Amino acid sequence: MSADTPHVLVVDDEADLRELLVITLGRMKLKATAAESLGAAKAALGEHTFDLCLTDMNLGDGTGLELLQFISRHCPDMPTAVITAYGSMETATDAMKFGAYDFIAKPVALDRLRQLIEDGLGISEVEDHHEEEDNLIGEAPSMRALKAQVRKLAHSQAPIYISGESGSGKERIARLIHNLGPRREKPFVAVNCGAIPSELMESEFFGHRKGAFTGAVEDRKGLFREADGGTLFLDEVADLPLHMQVKLLRAIQEKSVRPVGEAREFQVNLRILCATHKDLTNEMAEGRFRQDLFYRLNVIEAHVPPLRERQEDIPALVDHILQRLSQAWDTSAPKVSGQAMKALCDYPFPGNVRELENTLERAMTLCNGMVIEAESLHLQSPSSPAPAKIADGINQDLPKRAADQPLEDFLQDIERQEILKALDATHWNRTAAAKKLGMTFRSLRYRLKKLELDRDDGSE
């Protein structure tokens, strides 16, 4: 083998499994070194440089977790995967928290083993893409810590739970983890779990065969298979109903899915990232979120701080957002007056970065000339209730009934603004807006037509 051939360290106290791993690596044209104990593994790591390590959890004179700790201190850039006894999910979860990028359960399936090895070598070969990190604006201590954590998490295959308030940028963190990792050339599929009707969830996630149910006019792959090889991001995962949580857990553990109406299963190789603005620990305690799914998804948590906790980043964020908006509008970026910038830095932004973006987009529309003044921001005082957001980002108060206005017209005005508020909050996803308003999709569609708000933009 050439000097450029990847070198893999195999650590297992069972001679048969150790030999199987070495043979498999040889057939993949890879160089392998075997160690039968923790001590032998440490000695090998001191003598050679490896591109990948495969270790059992039981090493006779120690454990795989001890080896992971040793590797994190002495070979932090080397990907490590663990081999665990079947069903020992707690041990596998601990291993991933200690730095393992993935695990495989005994008895070892050769196709799964080959995929595990290819994933690991892909991690060791991945390049740093610092330009991706430039999209994560902020130098506050909490943001510097988050950036460092993202760089580390990108080189793992562990499921990540991204916590944070609405509008804080959780999906951006998920995309950054994907783009900095070995799956960056594969699909990144994001889904809002709260926007999918309960009766369609299984089909959306796992796919269906043509004719499996009324309306299934063609085969559908489903989100899991669409993300195969890449990353599946489950946004607002706390909104999943319990029956779907059971099926999601099985798909994650078995790494396979069965489309509705299909007799066979399909293997999938993807990474799961999830997020929600809700407290999953509280949801689990209240019985709305399964404990076993919680521990499977929450291997590692990445917390996105709210904007009010990093207000020193607001000037840099303002400049970045205005530059991006000006490019989209094909115009020059306006300046922000000192008084306007002070108002932005003093404002708590309950809607976080998303609210800042909406505020600046509105200010660019309303400002006179090329300077944004404080009055163009239309910020509310902290004690004032936030105005209702409606279409096109314009904030207006609910209407007041004029003396000569018919009551029916007045009520329609209120209904119109409440519907627009829900549509704006869900980015004109009518299914999600209907759920938010507590009505059926058909009822919302009727009201949109009645109020002349319907628009044929393809959104559902």
Extended beta strands in 22-63, E state: 31-35, 52-56
Name residue, tokens 């708000």: 453
Q: How far apart are CA 257 and CA 198, in angstroms?
A: 18
pLDDT at position 394: 37
The structural domains of the chain, ordered by start, are 7-125 (3.40.50.2300), 130-303 (3.40.50.300), 308-386 (1.10.8.60), 394-460 (1.10.10.60)
| pLDDT of the residue at 408 | 64
- Mean pLDDT for back-to-back runs of 10 residues, the chain (460 residues): 82 91 92 94 93 91 92 88 73 80 82 85 62 74 92 86 92 93 91 88 92 84 94 94 93 90 91 93 92 89 94 94 88 91 94 92 84 88 46 46 62 80 81 81 76 58
Q: Which residue has the tokens 């150790």?
A: 18
Contact assessment for residue 32 and residue 25, using Cβ atoms and an 8 Å cutoff: yes
Residue 317, pLDDT score = 95
> Would you state the pLDDT for residue 253?
83
pLDDT of residue 93: 75
- What 136-141 contacts at long range (C-beta under 8 Å, 24+ apart), as own/partner pairs, is 136/172, 136/173, 136/176, 137/313, 137/316, 137/317, 137/320, 138/310, 138/313, 138/316, 138/317, 139/312, 139/313, 139/316, 140/305, 140/309, 140/310, 140/312, 140/313
DSSP, collapsed to helix, strand or coil, labels residue 395 as strand
Neighbours of 221 (CB within 10 A): 15
Q: Which residues contact 296 (CB under 8 A, 6 or more apart)?
A: 89, 93, 159, 249, 252, 253
Q: The pTM is what?
A: 0.71
Residue (of 22, 383, 308, 371) closest to 142 by Cα position: 308
Which structure tokens are listed for 67? 């080896």
**Pairing relation of β-strands 80-84 and 52-56?**
parallel
Rounded CA-CA distance 105/82 in Å is 9
